[in-house]
Amino acid sequence: MNSREVTEEEVLPLIISQLIAYGYSTVAQSVADATGAATDMMPSARLSELIQIAKEKNEEDDSDDDYSGKSFDRESSRDHDMDVKMNTPGFDVDSMQNAQPKAAPEYNQLYYTQHKGPCRTAIFSADGRFAATGSHDSSLKLLDVNKMKKRTGDAGDKPVIRTLYDHTEQVNDLSFHPNGLVLASCSNDQSIKLFDLSKTGVKRAFRYLQDAQPVNSICFHPSGDFLLAGTKDAAVRVYDVKTLQCYTNSNNADMHRGSITQIRYSNTGKIFATSSLDGTVRIWDSVSSQCIRTLDAHGGAAVSSVRITNNEQYLMTSGLDSTIRLWDISSGKVLMEYKGHEQRAQMLQPAFSYNEDFIMIGDESSTDVVCYDTQTGTLLKRIPGHNNLVRCVAASPTDNGILTCSDDYRARYFNTPAEAV
């Protein structure tokens, strides 16, 4: 190796600026005084970036499975996303009046993957080709959906593409960048990590956003230019992905009065919604970042989740009153309630099926996933398979596939016979 040894004069200013970036200005000043290091005392994460580069250079290519970055081709992914959005039907409130319950979907478990701790969250990429899971053990797994569909027990063709390690505490939420090349994760370690999925074997983030609070939820804007973040603080964060600049809502009247439990953009990004422990759901204009509607969603009970329908006209919320509600955004009125599961203590995360025909959520009184008919509110079936509480259900945007995340350390992939190949 011909690498040049780094001098003390080069390292000390980086240490000082890194301390300032972490919020230890007093300690940084003490180090500067003690060493006489020449520094402008400006915050910088350059040292952390250099260490990360060194880690990646020294890391062996020990990925879980062979992976070619060509699978994440930008153009083909974008074209596929457009086709999916144009051809996928969505929820239609006009047909609710005389609707009859649909036949319950026949879900079969095709695959499961196991973490070293409770599995807390999952997400599918916008084109439905990939999925990711996050765990209490601080790890993430990247999964090939087609391989989960075709899983036949052949150990040589593993659906797990890669396991990602860079958090130090539990992973709370995930979001794929619209281009499919970057996966964002957030954690109780007060950070958001960005992983480059096109680089084979790289298991650590290439960029991170440091917060002063545990980060509960994140969501990329459909353009990919911004990233929403909700934390144990009541203020919404909006990050500029290119500059890493963080913006927060300054109007105290708009802010929640408790931790934000989930944050989600609509399909076009015109609006976004937040749910909170304060019992409210707030709908925001993405351009002005002003709150345009506040819903007392669950009679004062904490709200664990919020989802905006594909047509951006309706909202699904779940809360600790053991009820899921469907709302009309423009009027603020409840259109439908879904009861039959128990949710009294846990921040459960439900999901719409890809065509919004069904809503699925875990159940504190059992280890099942409960499936409701969206239009009638009928409890259609219970989906068994787990050995502990199901915390999160994630649905594919392109077919009937779902991932269920449980305290039994497993994420299970289910699909209907028509979709299994």
**Per-residue pLDDT tens digits for 389-407:** 999 999 999 999 999 999 9
Rg of the chain over all Cα atoms, to the nearest angstrom: 22
In the predicted model, what is the mean pLDDT of the chain? 87
pLDDT band at 256 (very low <50, low <70, confident <90, very high): very high
Distance, in Å, from the CA atom of 266 to the CA atom of 96, rounded to the nearest integer, reads: 22
- Has residue 60 got a pLDDT over 50? no
**List of residues 6+ apart from 414 with CB closer than 8 A:** 107, 108, 109, 110, 383, 385, 401, 402, 403, 404
Model pTM score: 0.79
How high is the pLDDT of residue 251?
75
Mean predicted confidence (pLDDT) in 106-111: 96
The pLDDT of residue 418 = 75
- Amino acid at position 133, single letter: T
Return the pLDDT at 420. Answer: 58
pLDDT range class, residue 47, cuts 50, 70, 90: confident
Using 50, 70 and 90 to split pLDDT, how confident is the model at 52? low
Measured CA to CA, the distance from residue 188 to residue 232 in angstroms comes to 9
76 Cβ neighbours under 8 A, 6+ residues apart:
none
Per-residue tokens: 28? 């940084």
Q: Are 218 and 177 in contact (CB under 8 A)?
A: no
- Write down the pLDDT at residue 59: 42
Task: List Cβ neighbours of 158 (8 Å cut-off, separation of 6 or more).
Answer: 64, 65, 147
pLDDT average, residue stretch 321-334: 97
Q: What CATH superfamily is the domain 107-415? A: YVTN repeat-like/Quinoprotein amine dehydrogenase (2.130.10.10)
**Residue 26 above 50 pLDDT?**
yes
Predicted local distance difference test score (pLDDT) of residue 399 = 96
Cα 340 to Cα 404: distance, rounded to the nearest angstrom: 18
How far apart, in Å, are the Cα atoms of 139 and each of 208, 257, 315, 368, 391? 15, 31, 31, 24, 17
Residue 154: predicted pLDDT: 47
Tell whether the model's pLDDT for residue 51 goes beyond 80.
Answer: no
Domain ranges (residues) in the chain: 9-54, 107-415
